[in-house]
Amino acid sequence: MRTPIIRFALALAVAWSGFLCLPAIRAQESPGGEAIPTTPDAGISQQELQQLAAEASANRNSPAAPEPNAGLKNSLNFLSLLIQGGTLMIPIGIMSLLVVAVGLERMIALRRGRLFPGGLRRELRRAIENGGPLAPKELFESSQRHPSAASRIMQDMLQKIGRPIPEAEAAINEGTQREADYLYSNVRWLSLAAAVTPLIGLLGTVWGMIIAFYNTTQLGAGRNRAEVLAEGIYVALVTTLGGLAVAIPAAILAHYFEGKITKMLASIDWELRRLIPRFESLEGKTRYDISSQGLTRREASEHNSKRRSANADANKTQVSPARPTAPRS
């Protein structure tokens, strides 16, 4: 294991030393590519020395060749270029901070352990695979120990135990939709940033080009109009660059979080629906209510008797209208 690493380190050291020696080797070469001896060799004749001296004198008298980048200005400073973008760079900067903040918050909030904790998942699967009677109170206590999106949906489902199965399925659907709306609330800010920020950048570019063309028409005679116009256009394009630089990561994060939310809620829905067949044995026999004391059970007969007594009291309170009496003669 160590031998390839040592060989790679030696090869890297040799390559790096060769790279460092390359400028020294190039310094000893002539412009034509031939090496120039550092000291005069004894084998060079007097005539060749005079010829080399004449060529050196001619090179000194000839004008120097212009450097490739002599006519260019200094390289662009990105920070100063952003400042030159104008006031519309301020909302673009605010949008960039919003994208970073929402992205970090959603990465933390949409972790699997926050949406569907492992302890709750194990308790739920144990209740599904257990052949004994269903223990709704234990499931409710487990949901209280692991507060999450899955626990809130499961509490809605447990409240429908003893009722018809379609009511339990409807409770799961309503709870899933409620949690989806809650989880999508911050992702919508990313979608907004992805849609609005390029438009802000385009607005800044159009306004900057209008100013650039206006300034060009106001130049006097002898001024280089092309240079002034080019400078104004490249400054105006800064806002478009800033808008795209914010919108592209925002769109990627929004699609990523939307897919993650859909996947996690589908997993929660599938796990909870596997528990519904266990409700069939309790249908029409019992009821469960959620109160400050937790999940309380009451028999269906008690529920029906209370309902009948409430209906009877309501009937007693209804007063029949008085009948009109005939006048006495």
Q: Is residue 127 within 8 Å of 278, Cβ to Cβ?
A: yes
pLDDT at 66: 46
List the beta bridge partners of residue 287: 298
3-state SS class at 76: coil
Residue pLDDT tens, the chain, 329 long: 444 434 544 444 444 444 434 444 444 444 444 444 444 444 566 777 677 667 666 655 555 444 444 444 556 666 777 777 778 889 999 999 999 999 999 999 999 888 999 989 998 888 888 777 777 888 888 888 999 999 999 988 888 888 888 888 999 999 999 999 999 988 999 999 999 999 999 998 888 888 888 888 877 776 777 877 787 787 788 889 899 999 999 999 999 999 999 999 999 999 999 888 888 777 777 777 777 667 777 765 554 545 555 554 555 555 444 444 444 54
Compute CA distances 182 → 3, 104, 112, 174, 177, whole Å.
56, 17, 16, 12, 9
Q: Give the pair of three-digit tokens for residue 273.
A: 């629906």
pLDDT at 279: 80
DSSP-derived letter for residue 29 is B
Residue positions counted in the chain: 329
Q: Is residue 282 within 8 Å of 137, Cβ to Cβ?
A: no
Is this prediction's pTM over 0.75? no
